[in-house]
Amino acid sequence: MTSAPILRRALLYVPGSSKRMMEKARGLNVDCIAYDLEDAVTAAQKPTARHIIKDALNLPRPGGVREVGVRVNAVETGLALQDLRVVLQGRNLDTIVVPKVESAGDLTFVSNVLDHSNHPNKSSVKILALLESARSIIDIRQICTSTPRLSGLIFAAEDFAKDLSITRTPSLTEFLLARQTITTAARAYNIPSAIDLVCTSYRDIATLERECLDGVGMGFNGKQVIHPSQVDVVQRLFLPGEGQVRAAVKVLVAEGVAEVEGRGSWGLDGRMVDRPVIEAARRTVGKMEAAGVDISGVWEAEKETKPE
């Protein structure tokens, strides 16, 4: 039996220095929030923000939020250790988001701090790595194998563009190599999440939708968001569509019949179905179940499906 997929369709950054924004985020229905100690917080605000986040992590878990994380400062700044010492005093911490990961050493450093902390759930705290430079893409193999805590790769387009002295365009073609490298590496090393770039035009829904569909087509299973208004669109588009769900259910219903008949491969709707197709169908249905989407009507409608 396969485990339920980890859902990180939307990863919402929330400034750790804003109690108001953090309280608002607690009321959202969102897969993952990351209280931010890095880009959204000025140097002068960081000491206060650490304690604001710690206090928030000691509140009861928010009902609509699946995963609560903290984006610390980059390891190379020397601030990450200060961040971790404070936020690891918060009980309800699931994930550490590590920015500007340049090498495996950045992640082993964070993992070692977790191992030697007094956090009550330290063994289950996961790490997400932000890849923001040419070096991180070139050294992605070492990064992916650095720690078993690594649970996701995130592409940071703005810093990557800065590192390469390129300009972001609406087509996003300038990021093609980096994005495909990230999704391929995530699959190759069984890392659950590959999370795509931020849509910086947060009021432009058409652009957001286009970027989501582009990301899905490239193999990403989530997207970073910077405004609550983006969450519903992103989480809808990073789930399988109605036609995809119906096709998956038909495969699984017919597969039950084929198994009884002892058929390893068979036809359905004019195409051959074998083990990879069946596993893909199970993943599709699993995503819907993990998201709490009721597809019982689809199962009922397709209950008579048989292999050809």
Q: Is residue 5 part of a domain?
A: no
Q: Note whether 286 and 168 are same-domain residues.
A: no
The pLDDT of residue 262 is 85
Residues facing residue 34 across a β-bridge: 13, 69
Q: Binding residue per annotation — 302?
A: no
Q: Note whether 234 and 250 are same-domain residues.
A: no
Q: Encoding tokens for residue 21?
A: 């924004």
Q: Is residue 307 part of a domain?
A: no
Judge whether residue 4 has pLDDT over 60: no
Q: Binding residue per annotation — 85?
A: no
The DSSP result for 216-263, as a single string, is HHHT--EEEESSGGGHHHHHHHTS--HHHHHHHHHHHHHHHHHHHHT-
106-146 per-position pLDDT tens digit? 999 999 999 999 999 999 999 999 999 999 999 999 999 99
C-alpha to C-alpha distance for 200 and 208, rounded to whole angstroms: 9
26-65 per-position pLDDT tens digit? 999 999 999 999 999 999 999 999 999 999 999 999 999 9
Q: Encoding tokens for residue 127?
A: 């790490």
C-alpha to C-alpha distance for 23 and 248, rounded to whole angstroms: 39
Q: Note whether 261 and 151 are same-domain residues.
A: no
**What predicted TM-score, i.e. pTM, was given to this entire model?**
0.92
Judge whether residue 1 has pLDDT over 60: no
C-alpha to C-alpha distance for 170 and 215, rounded to whole angstroms: 13
Query: 3-state class of 78 per DSSP?
Result: coil
Q: Note whether 68 and 177 are same-domain residues.
A: yes
Evaluate the CA torsion angle 166, 219, 144, 121 in order and state its sign.
positive
Examine the fold and report which residue of 204, 238, 272 is the final residue of a domain before the chain moves on: 238
Judge whether residue 214 has pLDDT over 80: yes
Q: Is residue 181 part of a domain?
A: yes
The pLDDT of residue 2 is 44
Q: Is residue 2 part of a domain?
A: no
- Those residues whose C-beta lies under 8 Å from the C-beta of residue 34, and which sit 6 or more positions away, are 11, 12, 13, 14, 69, 70, 71, 95, 97, 128
Range of the domain at 70: 10-238
C-alpha to C-alpha distance for 248 and 280, rounded to whole angstroms: 8
The phi and psi torsions of 209 (rounded to 5 degrees) equal -65, -45
Q: Is residue 3 part of a domain?
A: no
Cβ-contact 254, 306 below 8 angstroms: yes
Q: Binding residue per annotation — 159?
A: yes
Q: What is the mean pLDDT of the chain?
A: 95
DSSP 8: -
Examine the fold and report which residue of 238, 256, 283 is the final residue of a domain before the chain moves on: 238
What's the domain count of the chain?
A: 2
